[in-house]
Amino acid sequence: MAEEEPAVPVLLAALQGLTLKDFQEFKMKLSEVRVEGGWKIPTDSLAKAAHPCALLSCMGENYSKDTAMDVAIGVFREMNRRDLAEELLDEMVKEHKQKYKEHVVQGFLRYKEVNSCPGENVSIRSRFTSLSISRKPGSKHEAAGIGHGCADTSNGAATITAQTLFNPDEDGQTPQVVVLVGAPGMGKTMTVRKVMVEWGEGTIYTQFDYIFCIDCKDIALPKEASMVDLVSRCCPQRRVPVGKILEDQKRILFILDGFEALGFALVQPEEELSSDPGAVKPLEITLMSLLKKTLLPESSLLITTRPMALQGLGQCLKGEDYMEIVGFSRATREEYFHRYFGNDHKANAAFGFARANEILYSLCGIPIMSWTVCTILKQELRKGKDLMECSKGTTWMSVFYLSWLVKHRGRDSPRDLQRFLLKLCSLAADGIWKHKVLFEEKEIKARGLDQPDLLPLFLNEEIPRKGENHGNIYSFTHLHLQEFFAAMSYVLEDDVEVVGGSRGITKDINVLLESYSESRQDLNVTVRFLFGLASRESREYMDNAIGCRTSPRAKEELLRWLQGRHRGSSQPGQGRRLSRLDAFHFLFEMNDESFAQRALGPFTGVDLQDTKLTLYDQMALSFCIRQWPGLGSVTLQGCSFQQQDPKYEVAQHQELHSPIDGLCRALQQPGSDLRVLRLQWCRLPESCCAALAALLAQHRSLERLELGDTALGDRGVRLLCQGLRQPGCCLRVLRLRYSRLTSACCKDLAAVLGTSPCLEELDLSFSEGLRDAGVELLCQGLQQGSCRLQTLRLGSCRLTGACCRALAAVTPPLTCLDLSDNELGADGVLQLCRQLRSPSCPLRALGLSTAALPQDALQDLAALRELKPGLEVGDLLEQDAPQTGAMARLPFHRGALPGRRGPPSLRRGALL
Q: Which of 234-238, 365-369, 429-433, 533-537 has the lowest mean pLDDT?
A: 234-238
The residue type of 526 is T
Give the pLDDT band of residue 144 (cuts 50, 70, 90): very low
DSSP code at position 209: S
Residue 785 gets the label, from left (phi > 0), alpha (psi -120 to 50) or beta, of: alpha
pLDDT attached to residue 263:
76
Element (H, E) at 680: strand 676-680
**Count of Cβ atoms closer than 10 Å to residue 839 Cβ:** 6
pLDDT surpasses 50 at 6: no
Main-chain phi, psi angles of 226, to 5 degrees: -95, 170
The residue type of 76 is F
Contact indicator for 256, 235 with CB cutoff of 8 Å: no
Element (H, E) at 762: strand 761-763
pLDDT surpasses 60 at 247: yes
Of 673, 524, 687, nearest to 604 (Cα)?
673
Q: Write down the mean pLDDT value for the chain.
A: 82
Q: What is the pLDDT of residues 800-836, one digit of tens each?
A: 999 998 888 876 678 999 999 998 888 898 888 888 8
Farthest CA pair distance, the chain: 146
Euclidean distance between CA atoms 605 and 677, whole angstroms: 10
3-state helix, strand, coil in the chain (%, to 5): 45, 10, 40
Which residues neighbour 159 within 8 Å (Cβ) at sequence distance 6 or greater? 132, 133, 134, 153
DSSP code at position 492: B
Long-range contacts of 236-245 (CB under 8 A, 24+ apart): 236/99, 236/100, 236/103, 237/66, 237/96, 237/99, 238/66, 239/66, 239/67, 239/70, 240/96, 241/89, 241/92, 241/93, 241/96, 242/277, 244/89, 244/90, 244/92, 244/93, 245/93, 245/96, 245/209, 245/210
Burial class for 131, CB neighbours closer than 10 Å (0-12, 13-18, 19+) = buried
DSSP code at position 510: H
Q: What is the pLDDT of residues 503-556, one digit of tens each?
A: 333 478 889 999 998 888 899 999 999 999 999 888 888 888 787 888 888 899
pLDDT attached to residue 878:
72
Euclidean distance between CA atoms 652 and 341, whole angstroms: 15
pLDDT surpasses 50 at 604: yes
Give 244-269 as a 3 state SS string: HHCCCHHHEEEEEECHHHHCCCCCCC
Q: Residue 1's Cα: distance from chain center in Å?
A: 61
pLDDT surpasses 90 at 264: no
Contact indicator for 251, 207 with CB cutoff of 8 Å: yes
3-state secondary structure of 658: coil
Contact indicator for 674, 701 with CB cutoff of 8 Å: yes
Q: What is the dihedral of CA 803, 806, 809, 812, to 10 degrees?
A: -70
3-state secondary structure of 838: coil
Contact indicator for 474, 462 with CB cutoff of 8 Å: yes
Query: In the Cβ-directed half-sphere of 461, how many Cα atoms lie within 13 Å?
Result: 23
**Positive/negative CA dihedral, 188, 189, 194, 199:** positive
pLDDT attached to residue 115:
60
pLDDT attached to residue 889:
44
Of 490, 485, 536, 488, nearest to 513 (Cα)?
490
Q: What is the pLDDT of residues 663-711, one digit of tens each?
A: 898 998 887 889 999 998 888 888 889 899 999 988 889 999 999 877 7
Euclidean distance between CA atoms 557 and 14, whole angstroms: 88
Euclidean distance between CA atoms 625 and 431, whole angstroms: 36
Of 832, 825, 755, 748, nearest to 789 (Cα)?
755
Euclidean distance between CA atoms 577 and 608, whole angstroms: 10
pLDDT attached to residue 342:
87
Who has greater pLDDT, 136 or 877? 877
The residue type of 627 is Q
pLDDT attached to residue 460:
82
Long-range contacts of 900-906 (CB under 8 A, 24+ apart): 901/852, 904/795, 904/796, 904/820, 904/821, 904/849, 904/875, 904/877, 904/879, 905/879
**Count of Cβ atoms closer than 10 Å to residue 331 Cβ:** 10
pLDDT surpasses 60 at 907: no
Residue 771 gets the label, from left (phi > 0), alpha (psi -120 to 50) or beta, of: left
Tell how strand 281-282 and strand 320-327 pair up.
unpaired
Of 443, 440, 358, 359, nearest to 401 (Cα)?
359
Euclidean distance between CA atoms 524 and 513, whole angstroms: 9
Contact indicator for 582, 561 with CB cutoff of 8 Å: no
Contact indicator for 432, 467 with CB cutoff of 8 Å: no
Query: In the Cβ-directed half-sphere of 16, how many Cα atoms lie within 13 Å?
Result: 8
Contact indicator for 421, 548 with CB cutoff of 8 Å: yes
Euclidean distance between CA atoms 580 and 528, whole angstroms: 14
- Read off the pLDDT of each residue in 99-117 and give the average, rounded to a whole number: 84
Terminal-residue alpha carbon distance, the chain: 122
Q: Which of 179-183, 375-379, 844-848 has the lowest mean pLDDT?
A: 375-379
Q: What is the pLDDT of residues 112-134, one digit of tens each?
A: 876 655 567 889 988 999 999 98
Full DSSP string of 711-729:
B-HHHHHHHHHHHHTSTT-
pLDDT surpasses 90 at 597: yes
Instruction: Please give the radius of gyration of the chain, using alpha carbons only, rounded to the nearest integer.
Output: 40
Which residues neighbour 666 within 8 Å (Cβ) at sequence distance 6 or greater? 621, 622, 623, 625, 626
pLDDT attached to residue 903:
39
pLDDT surpasses 90 at 207: yes
Contact indicator for 366, 397 with CB cutoff of 8 Å: no
Cα angle 109, 113, 115; round to 5: 160
Tell how strand 320-327 and strand 177-181 pair up.
parallel
Q: What is the pLDDT of residues 314-350, one digit of tens each?
A: 778 888 888 889 899 888 999 999 999 888 888 888 8
Cα angle 807, 810, 813; round to 5: 125
pLDDT surpasses 70 at 571: no
Full DSSP string of 274-338:
---TT--EEHHHHHHHHHTTSSSTTSEEEEEE-GGGHHHHHHH-SSEEEEEEEE--HHHHHHHHH
pLDDT attached to residue 119:
61
Give 852-882 as a 3 state SS string: CCCHHHHHHHHHHHHHCCCCEEECCCCCCCC
Give the pLDDT band of residue 394 (cuts 50, 70, 90): confident
| Strand locations in 486-617 (E) | 576-578, 603-609, 612-613
Give the pLDDT band of residue 473 (cuts 50, 70, 90): confident
Contact indicator for 743, 773 with CB cutoff of 8 Å: yes
